[in-house]
Structure 1
Amino acid sequence: MAMENLLLGLAIHQLFWEHLPHWGTWFTRGLKMLPQPLQSLYEQWRCPYCAGFWIGLAVHAATGNYLFAAFADLPAFWGSLGTPLAWFMDALVFAALNKLGVLAVHAIGLPALKGHQAKEAFLAAKKAA
């Protein structure tokens, strides 16, 4: 399994849907300057599975790596449909694992945030005493 593809896809998803919208107003202003169909696509692709499919296709196109090498060797009876079908199936699996990765990051994030808040409260109480 090309773990680097999955990590890159997860990082892309986190960057564009979790972080950039909160880093000042420049990103949201840039989105508003896009044509309405592109703005609509950005809003509709917030789902980690939906966005993950397209991110998976883009990462595969950029790196040339399949997430699972087995997709590169589809049976010969698929003929000319083999390559597009392999890309499609690879992107579907990528999307499922991307969604799992986003859910895992969110699951880890809540306890980490609560731990950080508890530490800050402890340090503030200690400083006040």
Structure 2
Amino acid sequence: MTGSRFADGSGLNRADKVSAGLLTGLLAKAADPQHPELRPVLTGLPVAGFTGTLRARNAGTSPAAGLVRAKTGTLTGVNSLSGTVVDSTGRLLAFAFLTANSPGAEGAEKGLAKLAAAVAGRSVGGPPEGSPTYG
């Protein structure tokens, strides 16, 4: 929570501050079998190529289609994509990609979708030393 600031409950206030580490930590906690009450956090996320704000992103032959579940965030000059992806070895990974000072939302959104597809399309090795693993 260090450095986080919640100025409002919507996330639309420019004074709101969250880190990629906080977002991925929350997603990992929601995936933890010890916290089944948090599972709706993950199952309620849009699915790449199929639902919600990700319906048109990573559609078709993208390795992310059907594997990435994520929440988008878009304000003028700020874009984010945070969620989970099943990698090529079947592991569930949490991710958060954040941009600032983006010249245009469309380019930033495409870049974030490519990052999620890159994670979905390849195995990234084992979890970092000391990281929790679920599955």
- Whether these two folds match at TM > 0.5 is no
| TM-score, normalization by structure 1 | 0.33
**TM-score, normalised relative to structure 2:** 0.32
- Where relative contact order (Cα < 8 A, 6+ residues apart) is larger, the structure is 1
Larger Rg: 1
Between structures 1 and 2, the one with greater helix share: 1
